Structures are given as C-alpha cells and as structure tokens.
Structure 1
Amino acid sequence: MANKTIEQAFNVPFQYQVFFTKGLFSKGNQLFAELVKGDKVPKVFFVLDEGMARHHPNLITAIEEYAQANNDAFTLSAAPLVVPGGEQVKNEQQYFQEVLKATHTYGIDRHSYVVGIGGGALLDMVGFAAAIAHRGIRHIRIPTTVLSQNDSGVGVKNGINAYGKKNYLGTFAPPFAVINDADFLQTLEERDWRSGISEALKVALIKDASFFVWIEQQAVDLMDKSHSSMAELIYRCAQMHLDHIASGDPFETGSSRPLDFGHWAAHKLEHLTDYKIRHGEAVAVGIALDTTYSFLAGMLSENELNRVLDLIIKLGFDLYVPELSGEALLKGLNEFREHLGGELTIMLLDKIGSGVEVHQMDPALIFKAVEKLNQLQMDYQKA
C-alpha cells in the first residue's frame, strides 16, 4: 500500500488589549464591567496576591461591592482566593492546584473569567491554571507591580517552576485582557518599585537608544512615586513588548529570545539565591554581566559600557552578588538553551539600542566579566 498524507494548516488570530486606568473597582469606573459583559452574565473568579491584598485591605470588599453594583454584567463565582505572591506561588504547586480545584468546584467554564491580581509570579501561575482547565478559560491579568505592568503581565507566557528550573512547566496563552491600575503601585516597597525598571532598561538597550537616554535623564524622578515618569516608563515599555510579540516569534518556536537579554544569568541567580533576590534585581545583574562581556569581547565601546553600568548603579541596583562567582553559574547557559531546545542563542550588545545574537560564550571571559563587576561594586561601596 502506498503511503498517504493529509496535511492540515490553519491560523488562529490572537487579539487582546492592555488598558491603563486608576481606581479600577471604584463605583464610577465601568471599565471592568464593560469588558466582561456579554449576552449572558458570566461567572468571574478572582485570585489575589496575599502581599498585595494586605496592602490594600479594602480590595476584597471593593470587588464584592463592585460586582453587586454591576450584577447585570457579571457575577462572582465565589469569594476571592488569596494565595502567597512571589516565587513561592510558583515553587509550591499546592497553590496552582487550588486554582484548578476552584474551576471544578465553582463550575468555571470557557465562558467564565479567571482574574489574577498581583505580581508577575502570581499572574504566571494563575494564567497557567486558566490555560489548562477546560483547555482554556478566559484569563484577565491585573498586574500590581512595576515589573509585571511593564513586562511579564502584558505578554503571552504562563508557568510555574519545577525541578529547580524557572518556568519549566507552562504554556503560551494570550490573556483575554490586561488592566494596569496605577493605584496598585503606590503601596509598593522601594525595592519592588525600583525592581521593575530593570526590564525597561533591558528593552531600551536592545531596541531603542532614545529610550535608554530618557531613562538616564529620568533616573532620579523614577524613584519618586509622585512623579509621572514611572507611568510613562510603564506605558513605553509595555508598548515595546507588545510590538515585539506581534512582529517576532511570540510562542518561541525558534532558538531566540531577544527580550531575555541578561536573563540567562538572572534566572540562575534567582535559583542560586533561593529566590531571595528579586527578579528585577537579578535581571539588573544579568544585564551588567552581559554588557561587560560584550565590552570584553570587543563588541561594545568602553564609554557605552560605563554609561550602562553607571545607570544601573544610579537606579539603585547592585552590579555583583556573591552567587555570580562559581561554576554553578555556567549551568544557567545550558538551562537557557534547554528551555527552548536547539542551539544556544544569547543576546549581547554592539551598541546601546542594538542587540546582537551570538551562539556561544567563552567561560573564561564570563568569569573575567564577573571579576570586573566585583571590583567595580567594591569600588562603588568604598566611594
């Protein structure tokens, strides 16, 4: 019998909006109600970041009162579920299972909504649960940190950690919508407020030199919660991430992850420090490492290297942490490659605003870069 083949090809359009607002669940704000309202009144299930909920003690009451006032638009399937935020919610699968169990217990189906309110780690976990329950429940992300509003919260990735590896389990599943409420940022600790700036620095370095210059000029104002510069940074950074998703390889079928500049070391540092270092802090160190490596490899000028490192310090980040030294760091390169498969692809710099992909890194040069950063950090602390 001759071999036979049937070939099928189809395209699935993905579309979602990122909204910017304030006072999302205040009585006069109809954004959420109008977003979920349909021919039938849908069920909505909220999952809240514990730390965020603690800093916003009236949030659950506000959600319940908002739902009651807009009962023609949606109904709450149950009281909001409150779980820990940070990497704990991705490391311990009991919380992931709680969200999955809730979809079963409360009859949350494909015409319902699962809404995550919190930092990037919580949104990653909730998005993964929503993506696999019923093969996909509508998911709305409400990021509450700078890092998640300008980076992870507006993308298409979901996941949890497993086997000591970051985001080992997960999906690519675009959200139904993303809502950035600036009011949530006002209660952030200084460390978390600053942490998200590293992702803006990352995208500026590889894509937009003018944005890098803007961050240089606004570095002091960005530390001021009352200043409008952070809102501008979040909007510009989110726009650049969305543009990349639309024009590139959103589901990472290739071997390239340009938006993960500085991340091969950052992901490993998070694990090596038992996640005591914030993701944004680890990214800042990773950016410093790969920028220094780019200089030592003859790709980047010394003047541009100094501009990048000076800005990282000015923004309040470290250039070096002790876990950066040691052979364990190099395992991060292979884990970075394994996460996609195929050949190793790392983004480096040939100038500010211009990223270049390479397929190998010299371990000796990596440790030379580490030594340089260690010395610069000590010099800075002595000054």
Structure 2
Amino acid sequence: MDISTLPTIQQEFNVRYTYQLLFTQHLFALENPLFKNVLEAYRPNEPIKCQFVVDQGVFDSHSGLEKQIQAYCDHFKHQIQFTELIVVPGGEDSKKDQKSVDKCLEGINNNAICRHSFVVAIGGGAVVDMVGYAATIAHRGVQLIRIPTTVLSQNDAAVGVKNSVNAFGKKNFLGTFAIPYAIINDLEFLKTLEQRDWVAGIAEAVKVALIKDKTFFEYIEANAEALAHRELEPMAYLIHRCAELHMEHISKGGDPFEKGSSRPLDFGHWSAHKLEYMTQYQVRHGEAVAIGMAMDMVYAKLIGVFNGDLDRILSVLKKVGFDLDLPLETDSEIQELLKGIEEFREHLGGELTITLIPEIGKKTDVHTIDYKVMEEAARSFMYKPQNSL
C-alpha cells in the first residue's frame, strides 16, 4: 500500500460555553441561598464536593470566614460537601512560583476532587488566576467557581476565561483558557480593601470605557470623587458595567481564546506588565495599567492618532486616586521598560498589535511603534512637573 494515497481525515466541531456572573452581599450568610443555588443548578439534591482556596489577605481581614463557610456548607449539607479550606499567599506571591499551585493540586488529590467536584477560589485577581490554573490542569479540568474579592478582580481579572502563573521572569507565561462554572461578586469583601486596592481596580473600568463606551467614561468622570471616597453605590455600578463590557467582548468579539493578535482589552498593558515586573510587583496591576494608558494616550497624541482632550482623561485618572508618575529614574530603566513592547508581541505571537484610541469610546490597532516617540511619552511621566503636555 502506498501510504501517501490514504485520504486526509478532517473533523470539525463546535462547543457551546455558558457561564454566569452573579452579584450579592454576605454570600455565606445562612439566609443567603445563592451559593447553594449555584451548585443545585449543576446537580440538584446531591452533595457536591467543594474545596475552598482562600487568599491569605482575605482570610486575615475576615475573621471567622472559615467557620462561616463550614457552617454554611453544613446548613446546606444535602447540596454541599465541605472538604477543606486552603490558605495561599495573596497578590503576585501566589503566582511567582509553583508552590501555591502545588498546594492546590495536593488538596485536589487528597480530597478526591473530580471533574464533577468544585474548586472555589476566593481572593484577588492573582489568586483567582493561580487557582484557576491549578483547577484546569488537574484531571484536565475540574469545576471552578470564582469569588473575587477586589475591585480589579470583580470587574476584570476574574470575569474572563484566562488562568495563569508567572514563569521565566514573565507575567502569565504559563496559563490556560478555561471557562469557570460561575463567578460570584460579593460586594461585602470590598469594604476591607486597602485604599490602593480600592483605587487600583478602577483602572480597568477607565480602560474599557475609553475603548468601548463614552457614556461609561462620562459616568466615571462625573463620579470620580465619590469613587475616590469609597462610596459603594457608584462602585457597584462601575463593577457591573465594566464586567458587562468585558464579558460582551469575550462573547461577541469572535476571539475568546485569543487566537489572533489583537487584544483591545489589553490597552495600556504592554508597559503595565513590564512595569510590574521591574518593580518586583510593588506597583499594583491597576496602578501600572493607569500609567500604561496614560503613556499610550500621550503617544497617540504625539503621533496624531488622538486629537481629543488629553488632560481630561489624565484628570479623571488622577481624581479617582492614581499617581501617574513612573517609578523609574534612569535612562537604562526607560530602555528596559521599552523592551516590554517586544515582550508583548512575543506573548501574543505573530504581528505586534497595540491598541490606541482615536477618540473616547473607540479604539484602533497599530502594528508598529516609534520607539523614540514612545520614549518621549514615557519620559513625560518621570517627573511630576512634566505630567501633561
């Protein structure tokens, strides 16, 4: 037989994904049936194993959380089987090495968590990222519920389909695309946030407003001081609208698993990821995104892509509480920051694609960057007297 004459076998199939984002307060209060109802919708009236993984910062800030979760599971024991609550480091410490992932995997193994059991991630965006990664590589994927506890994770990081950890000195080098069964935003967790974390999450809302929704930007502009002063009502709306736009992009953008090179939701992120790494993650992700957007807005102004009111946008970022000064002091640091452009292209693969905005509420992609002009834009944020054009 001539092997070369055998016909090619080709197959094609579609998979439908559905997941939901729910909003509540006091999720584990016995009188709140939401968490039980989520599990009940998956498999009614049968105890479902749940392994909880909690951010250390959340665990410390909410005394009695473990007992509350255990009491809730016991109250609804016909539907929920509590196995274990594992505490992991918060922030980027959870993603910087394999230790936290291994801790989650060990729990999944020890508690016989299977594909029809649930891992429940409770924490900020980095912890949710890490736990999601562990959950999707165990048994090729166990069920995952995300309970994000920061503004940034409730409006952006936890509402998507990505999971990751850092490796080889690069943010999110190892990761998966996987759909959580559900995301539950409990606004009560926001009340214990440090002011920096409260403010940092607003960056992603400004980002999505700038590229997608002028009316939303105007809402943030009108409520900037209320947001800075931690008023819960405008923050609740900001989180809901930002998450809604994010999820619409995933479902309607035609590229939920990022097979292409365009990632408009990463506006301002090429420098943000690099800046986080350069400062050993002393700069919060949202803080870095705010600086990154500001830099890219100045760049867009300098090359003539954006002809609108730059100071208006920078003013909104400052009013909600962002310091837009680059925490860099030397020429070599600026050159190192600019290397983030090529690292961003490498992370995406294929053609370099950087999102800019020609006007508020609209975006455009560029595929080349003038490094000299971008350096000029970066330098304009090195010292406070030069923070605007």
**Which TM-score band applies after superposition, normalised by the shorter structure?**
over 0.9
- Which residue of 308, 316, 322 maps to 1:317? 322
Does residue 103 of structure 1 match 2:111? no
Cα deviation code 1:237-261 (max 9, x no counterpart): 0000000000111100001111000
**Does residue 266 of the first structure (1) align with residue 269 of the second (2)?**
no
| 1:31 lines up with 2:34 in the alignment | yes
Match of 2:197 in 1: 192
Candidates 262, 285, 291, aligned match of 2:291: 285
Aligned equivalents of 1:323, 1:239: Cα separation in 2: 35
Aligned residue number for residue 65 of structure 1? 71
8 Å contact 1:284–1:319 — kept in the other structure? yes
Please say if 1:6 is aligned against 2:9: yes
Q: Which residue of 2 aligns with 1:205?
A: 210
Within a 5 Å distance, the mapping from 1:48-87 to structure 2 comes to 48-78=54-84, 80-87=85-92
Give the number of equivalent residue pairs.
378
SS at match of 1:373: coil
- Structure 2 distance, partners of 1:186, 1:227, is 9
Partners of 2:324 and 2:387 within 8 A in 1: no
Shift of residue 379, structure 1, vs aligned partner:
5.5
Aligned to 1:154: 159
- SS class of match (1:82): strand
Contact 1:269 1:323 in 2 (8 A): no
Q: Which runs of 4+ in 1 moved over 4 A?
A: none
SS of alignment partner, residue 309 of structure 2: helix
Shift of 1:310: 1.3
Structure 1 contact 47–117 (Cα < 8 Å) conserved? yes
Letter in 2 for 1:273: T
**Structure-1 residue corresponding to 2:334:** 326
> Contact 2:105 / 2:138 at 8 angstroms: preserved in 1?
yes
Q: 226-235 or 255-264, which moves further after superposition? A: 226-235
Residue 43 of structure 1 corresponds to 49
Question: RMSD between aligned alpha carbons?
Answer: 1.3
How many Å separate the matches in 2 of 1:322 and 1:120?
A: 23
Distance 1:226 1:314, change over 3 A: closer
Identity over aligned residues, as a percent?
51
Gaps of 5+ in 1: none
How far off its partner does 1:3 sit?
4.0
TM-score scaled by structure 2?
0.95
Compute the displacement of 1:18 (Å): 0.3
Q: What is the DSSP-based 3-state SS (H/G/I as helix, E as strand, rest coil) of the residue aligned with 1:87?
A: helix
1:257 pairs with 2:263 = yes
Q: Which residue of 1 aligns with 2:223?
A: 218
Matched residue type, 2:69: I
Q: Trace 1:241-252 onto structure 2 (pairs within 5 A).
A: 241-248=246-253, 249-252=255-258
Question: 5+ unaligned residues in a row in structure 2: which ranges?
Answer: none
Q: Tell me which residue corresponds to 2:127.
A: 122
User: 1:143–1:153: 8 Å Cα contact kept in structure 2?
Assistant: yes
Name the SS of the counterpart of 1:149 in structure 2. Answer: helix
- Mapped to 2, the partners of 1:189 and 1:87 lie a distance apart of 16
Structure 1 counterpart SS, 2:380: helix
- Asked if the contact 1:47–1:114 (Cα under 8 Å) also holds between the matched residues in 2, the reply is yes
Q: Does 1:133 align with 2:138?
A: yes
